[in-house]
Structure 1
């Protein structure tokens, strides 16, 4: 018997047009003053318009914080939390990508407790109350709408996480219509990000469990079957819905069986060079998979049959090779840049990247294979040069 703990949101609503029901949910909480956390791009695209109009029509006071940026810096989160307190908000709603959702989680918590952000980095340190929280993703990628995790960029450009059940929302609202406008390159990056969540949850060394395994497998099957379609045809609502569902399931998986070295190596790329998180993951993914293969080969072979429907591996070695080859093909077909140099990273940047990646001990402990500083440096070197991954 392998004991485990599994945590998930109390309520999930998956439906075309589901975001229109936020007004009714606000009424269920008796809310009178609502903070909407989003970013200028999402709001400018009109994705919050219906919710804003509905809240106004219901007579609720709406305060909008639209200054979220990618890889949210600590000062942005603290500013939003101060606004939430000053405006006596009683419900936090977020519509946006992972950065907006991560920001909203911490705002709902910090506005309700005396805790300082600097004091709750790590696992289980946020123990106080929070405001009611409704999260609505506009990308099929981060799964943040169902996780107890918020990632923050510190003033020193280090990425730190706050991990606590207090950050799990009251409602996760999945509305595929809100993802229809994503441009192809964002669709690809966020979709591959969700695939990484499923893969790393399934191979996580520390907390892998039967529930996370089933969620990760279903998520990866949905994502692999649809990511090329939504990249080519962003208006395909059915495929968009499958991607959003897969992203959410992957989020539930990695919330309980945490991610590992792909994320550990991706975080410094995003924090230092402001490369979007999903793209940062995609750039190092094939190289980390190749490194992990000696320790994860049987699990990779099991996943091969999900990303290549109908495939049956003759051996674990063949299956692992097929799995890595298919992931490389998906990255290629979705036009992920072939190297770190394509996003402006130089050889002189690798020591800093490796140094910062090694600080991600919360993630590296989950990796199926231990990594040294020199091995991390070598993986970055392979990714910088765009070396072909040998499957």
Structure 2
């Protein structure tokens, strides 16, 4: 919350409005690190389940008691998201919202005037927010002009819209297109260094592949509440995990359980479930359309590494949905499991940062087409 938000909301005696607030501390000041480069000064303390205490029966209690204008500034923007790029500002919505998950309400294309209002509110809250797209790269060392990117994006969407194929296959074909595009560009410029091939060793996961999945699962689906920076991808923790994997089994951890990857993939992924397939498509389409997966949109990753990161996220969503299904004793994965996984992921993607050597390490780990094929095959 901003200082103005805090003063307005903390001035209310919430315990007089709802018994569960009696004797409870609802707010905390942010640390200096948390406040850095931010308009916020305070935070609402989450409940034990991680949810906002003002979420009562799936509705905002502040809103219900005092109106939308009384909510924290960032909550008034929710679920709308804005990303400034060289070709303008792209508006999307957060998949933390259940309305967005179930595709209810008006299309954004029908809300132009309202979106302009929300964009102005966003600019007032973040007046110095101007993402730096000047270092855009196709792969490391290969600069990419923005108009060229937009043409590539059209080609990616053409492949991802092919509903006659599984979403796994669509993503792999889009990845192949990017690798072929990069190869052709290198050839045109006279570079003789070849890009990695897919390999012929089969689709069995290698130790490094599984370590990458486990490390990113811990970042995006933490089994316990995280402090500021604790959920960021770290080179040191990844290397420590990799060496320990020779001594200890690698497991996907949830709050009250953990699973080996063999346990997860033994639960079949539903075939031909149109609702689940549509949700996955809409989720990833939104991130690509908003440019929130590479460059200034995500950790300054190159386009190919950023797109491959999306493919790993697709695999992780399927694995996490299986883990949630097993945890509740379900005989099969259902839409409710995928919804929960996507909401978890969406929240964490908005909080995660790639600092230090994290981005270079991900560039290295995410470039291999063979690794991507093995990861997709393992999560299918």
TM-score w.r.t. structure 2 length?
0.29
Between Structure 1 and Structure 2, the one with more helix by share is 1
TM-score w.r.t. structure 1 length?
0.28
